[in-house]
Amino acid sequence: MIKLTGLVKRFPGRTVTANAVDGLDLEVPAGSLAVLLGPSGCGKTTTLRLIAGLDRPDRGEIVIGDEVVCDPGKGIFVRAHRRPIGIVFQSYAIWPHMTVAQNVAFPLQGGRPRIPRRKVRERAVAALDLVGLADLADRPAPALSGGQQQRVALARALIREPKVLLLDEPLSNLDAGLRDRMRDEIRAMQQRLGITTVFVTHDQDEALAVGDEVVVMSEGRIVEKGLPQDIYAWPRTEFTARFLGVSNIMAGTVRSVAPGVTEVVIAAGVLRCRPCPGARDGDRVSVLMRPESFLLSRRRPDGPAWRGTVDFSIYRGDCWDYHVKVAGEVLKVRVYQEKAGLAHGDIVFLVPDESAAIVLPAPGTASAPAPGGAPAVVR
Amino acid sequence: MTTRAKPWPLPTSGGRGVGQARPRRRIAVEPRYLILVMCALLVAYLALVPVGTMGVAAFRSHFLIGGPSHWTLRNFVTIFTAPWFGALVTNSFLYAGATAVVSTAAGFGLAWLVARTNTPARALVSVAAITPLIIPGILSTVAWALLFAPQVGPLNDLLASAGLPTFNIYSLPGMVFVQSMHVVPIPFLMGVAAFRSMDGSLEEAAAASGARPARVLRTITIPLARPAILSAGLLTFVQTISTFEVPQLIGVPGHRFVFVSEIYAALQAFPTDFGAVGVIGVFVLAIAATGLVLSARLGRSTATQTLTGKGFRPRVADLGRWRWAGLGVAAAFFLLAVILPLAMLVWSSLLPGYRPPSTEALRSVTLSNYRAVWTTPALVGSVEHSVVTAVTAGAIVTVLSAVVAYITVKTRARGRSLLDGLATFPIAVPSVVMGVGILYWYLVAPLPFHLYGTLTILVIAFVTIGLPYGVRFLTPGMARVSDELEEAASASGAGWLRTFQRIYLPLLAPSLLAAFLYTVIVAFREITAAIFLYSSGTEVMSVMVYNLWSDGSYPVVAALGVIMVAFLASAVVVVWLLGGRIQITRLTNQG
């Protein structure tokens, strides 16, 4: 179990208002994996380093297991080497002057009580076996490939059987194919060992695939957190909606609020969206729709539909992506299982899947943090 | 050289007397290549002659003494079996080895403080590390000899009043201490580079693996820095074994002879055994070459080791309360390296005769020593000689290294990497070998004129010593001028000379000036080579400092030294300012 309360970290030389970590509260239950997700500079790596004890927070309490490892108010600060942690760095930090086995065995040595040399070797080989590298034990570490170094780093982080595993963008230096495989391996191993894990990444696919809980961060704060499927399907802020996946965000005004449905007027027409707690008549809001929540057809369908023109189209193999201009706004629409594509200027009709339309507080009107430097469309 | 073979295409308004353009293209390239070839030959001559002559002398009987001369190994046998040779080798290795260990340990310790900790005011150390450029070795040796003078030295006074035993500087520990202060910038700068390029997450991974800070230092930091540490140790060893001032000024009064002081003594003796000196010179050269080759090999292995992937950030350790101890170390080093030697020089220069610092002595402060410098013709002469030889050498080095850089960077001429190697070669030649080798060559060379006893021979030595540094400044500078700029000039109808004047000269100006000033600094400070090459009437300042010191005129030495420091300090400041300019030009060239 990891518990962070009111964590603040300021780096000297920056303006006082811009804290790297700015009042962070988070609890990671024992045995689960929390992903810290956010754009670069959002404070996710700093948070990880604070948990590890590599940096000192200015304020806030950190509890690992049942031990308070940091509480500046009480003058408690347990340094990194006394915390029950294992960490994998983005650069792997494999010591180039040691063999693979020496790298992995290092955390077992120099502690008290002393572990006999034979025992150390046995456990190092066992740890390497866990990551499938037992036969490379006596290679010099720099002779390994990136993926292998990654596995060594993982074995080294796990060998002490720490209470907490910390992973700092562990996959970002790997090739695309290897990345997916390592991601699944890390997840499988974490579940098998049942180790409490914090995983830092800026890659949304990675975050969704690997986490029990996804924590979206921006400007040193938590924007929102939740199950991966909830965070993706029902984001509560525009920041998360933009950061996770491709989305259409349309400005609108609430027309009526009824139980089970919120009607919003947008440029293209009226949408009967999912209920939005707290929305009132006349509120200015944003409506989020994913590209796959539209039904696209060439002929006017029976029910209500939006008429639009295809601006341009991208063929992606398993699907087509279209930019469709509707009432002066460009909507991104994704269509699976279509053979012939559409061309620029084609007239099409869109039927929105209203059960997938989500009302979000418009930026700046609600308590949600501003989207900040979030990219308009990720991907 | 064929005159006027090339019709430089000049604009009609140019009127430089090369008018009537009748294109004869095949001859047109000739003068350019002639210049390049001549410069290349000159570089080869400068680089190879001293070492070659030294080598020949070691294998000849009756070298320079008249009588029939023939090839022989007698010199080697005589020297290696001489009863004193064992002690000489032991002393030299003890002296250079201890200096290498002390200065490398101190340099890397300071480098760690500066590069990897949050010690306050650590910039003091960086500033102190460049002061040896400003205070030449001969002057700081003089200053330390005064500070630790047996009876009257203020530091020994201090020790005595504290009830501690005084420090006899005229001893092996004294030599090691003073020489360590001279060479400590080498390991310091190498250490800063090594620590800055080390991935901090390697140390953090160890901490996160449960290693205490001391264990992190022992098992990760030091092993990772080991190639750089060894390399720095070898360089300081080579530097120590080949310089003159400490062995002569500190070692000889303490009866500790090492290679350099032995060579100097042998050349003063009569009859001179030039062959024997040659043997010791070859011996020193072999040691230096071995050290440098090993050092370069280690340097290559560090380059490949410390590089890691992304996420690379050198980390700064928070020392906590210990950072005040770090501040103490930084301040103590600054005091030792800068304040004490400078203060001692200035103090001594202001008194008619040496007296320890006191309020009473303050009343006799006078500028008479400075007046003496300006009124004694020999002293004024030495200032003139220093300025003339340093500036001339600077100018020659600048031109030569520009040509070398042009050939190696901009042409595909065969042997261009050999040329680069030749121009860098003198860096591997110990100054003592350089001095003696040049001396021998101009004593035996069948030239129609005599160079021995002229300022020219000093200029030749300074050019040879400065050339490697000049090339180091100009090769990157030349590489930054893109080929298209030259091609655009020729496409606009400019000939080679005009391209050089209008394109290269302005773009290279900062590098050229830096190369010039750096050579001036190096030449100004040099004593080891100069001491073998001057003769009465051609003393330069560093030699004059030594001679005055030997005569016991300490106050005048100090005054001359202060003038020297002032000159060097202003040159260093200009180079420093230029450093910024060079950065700026690099940016604008890219943009």
Output the CA–CA distances (angstroms, integers) from residue A138 to A98, A101, A103, A143, B301, in the order listed. Answer: 9, 6, 10, 11, 21
Regarding whether B463 and B505 lie in a shared domain, the answer is yes
How many contacts does A have with B, using Cβ atoms within 8 A? Answer: 92
Residues B256 and B395 in one domain: no
What whole-number distance in Å separates Cα of residue B106 and Cα of residue B552?
Answer: 33
Q: Same domain for B93 and B152?
A: yes
Q: Does B208 touch chain A (CB under 8 A)?
A: yes
Establish if B354 belongs to a structural domain. no
Kind plus residue range of the DSSP H or E element containing A250: strand A248-258
Confidence of residue A17 (pLDDT cuts 50, 70, 90): low
**CA gap B319, B323 in Å, rounded:** 5
Mark which of B314, B349, B384 sits at the end of a domain. B349
| Residue B514: inside a domain | yes
Q: Are B462 and B333 in the same domain?
A: no
Measured between beta carbons, which residues in chain B are less than 8 angstroms from residue A86?
208-209
Torsion over CA: B45, B50, B54, B57 (sign):
positive
Determine, yes or no, domain membership for B60.
no
> What CATH number does residue B373 fall under?
1.10.3720.10
- Asked if the structure places residue B399 within a domain, the reply is yes
Q: Which conformational region is residue B355 in: left (phi greater than 0), alpha (psi within -120 to 50 degrees), or beta?
A: beta
pLDDT of residue B195: 86
Q: Which residue range(s) make up the domain with B481?
A: 30-47+367-591
Q: How confident is the model at residue A378 (pLDDT cuts 50, 70, 90)?
A: very low
The answer as to whether B109 is a domain residue is: yes
Residue A12 DSSP class:
T
Are B413 and B517 part of one and the same domain? yes
> What residues in B contact A142, CB-CB < 8 Å?
305
Q: Is the domain of B38 the same as that of B123?
A: no
Q: Which of B118, B198, B201, B209 would best serve as a mutation to test chain A binding (most A beta carbons within 10 A)? A: B209
| Full pLDDT tens readout for chain B, 591 residues | 334 444 434 333 433 344 444 444 444 456 677 878 888 899 999 999 999 998 888 888 877 777 777 888 888 888 888 888 999 999 999 999 999 999 999 999 999 888 888 888 888 888 888 787 788 999 999 999 999 988 778 898 888 888 888 899 999 999 999 999 999 988 998 888 888 888 888 888 998 998 888 898 899 988 988 888 998 899 899 989 988 999 999 999 999 999 999 999 988 887 788 888 889 999 999 999 898 888 888 766 654 444 444 344 556 777 778 888 889 999 999 999 899 999 999 998 998 877 777 777 788 888 888 998 888 898 999 999 999 999 999 999 999 999 899 888 888 777 788 888 888 888 888 888 899 999 989 888 888 888 888 999 999 999 999 999 888 888 888 888 888 887 887 787 777 778 878 888 888 888 888 889 889 988 988 999 999 999 888 999 999 999 999 988 888 999 999 999 998 888 888 877 776 554 433 333 332
Domain presence at residue B406: yes
Number of domains in chain B: 2
Class of domain A246-361: mainly beta
CATH class of the domain comprising A2-238: alpha beta
**Domain segments of chain A: what residues?**
2-238, 246-361
Residues 6+ apart with CB under 8 A from A204: A37, A243, A244, A245, A378
Q: How high is the pLDDT of residue B579?
A: 64
- Here the ipTM equals 0.77
- Min Cα–Cα distance to chain B from A168, Å: 10
Q: Do B207 and A56 touch (CB under 8 A)?
A: no
Q: For chain A, what is the mean pLDDT?
A: 86
B151: left (phi over 0), alpha (psi -120 to 50) or beta: alpha
How far apart CA B253 and CA A194 sit, in angstroms, is 75
**pLDDT tens for residues B428-480?**
888 888 999 999 898 888 888 888 889 999 999 999 999 998 888 888 888 88
Q: What is the pTM of this model?
A: 0.78
Cβ within 8 Å, pair A106-B211: yes
Those residues whose C-beta lies under 8 Å from the C-beta of residue B276, and which sit 6 or more positions away, are B75, B78, B79, B266
Nearest to A106 among B201, B206, B226 (CB): B206
Task: List the structure tokens of A140.
Answer: 């010099």
Among A85, A96, A169, the residue with its CB nearest the CB of B208 is: A85
Average pLDDT for residues A136-145, to the nearest whole number?
88
**What is the strand order of the sheet A329-336 is part of?**
A294-297, A347-352, A306-315, A319-326, A329-336
Report d(CA B445, CA B451) in Å as an integer.
10
**Same structural domain, B340 and B387:** no
d(C-alpha B363, C-alpha B374), whole Å: 23
**Distance of CA A233 to CAs A270, A274, A330, A351, B585, Å?**
21, 12, 21, 19, 53
Domain assignment of residue B419, yes or no = yes
Please give the DSSP secondary-structure letter assigned to residue A251.
E
Note whether A110 contacts B212, CB cutoff 8 Å.
yes
What is the distance between the alpha carbons of residues A157 and A163, in angstroms, rounded to a whole number?
A: 11
Strand-pairing partners, residue A256, are: A263
B90 and B212 inside one domain: yes
Residues of A in contact with B212 (CB under 8 A): 81, 110
Token pair of B392 as six digits: 């001339």
- Residue B121 is assigned to a structural domain of this protein: yes
- Closest CA–CA distance from residue A40 to any residue of chain B (Å): 12
Is B96 found in the same domain as B34?
Answer: no
Residue B586: its pLDDT value, please? 37
Chain A residues with CB inside 8 Å of B202's CB?
93, 95
Are residues A81 and B213, on separate chains, in Cβ contact within 8 Å? yes
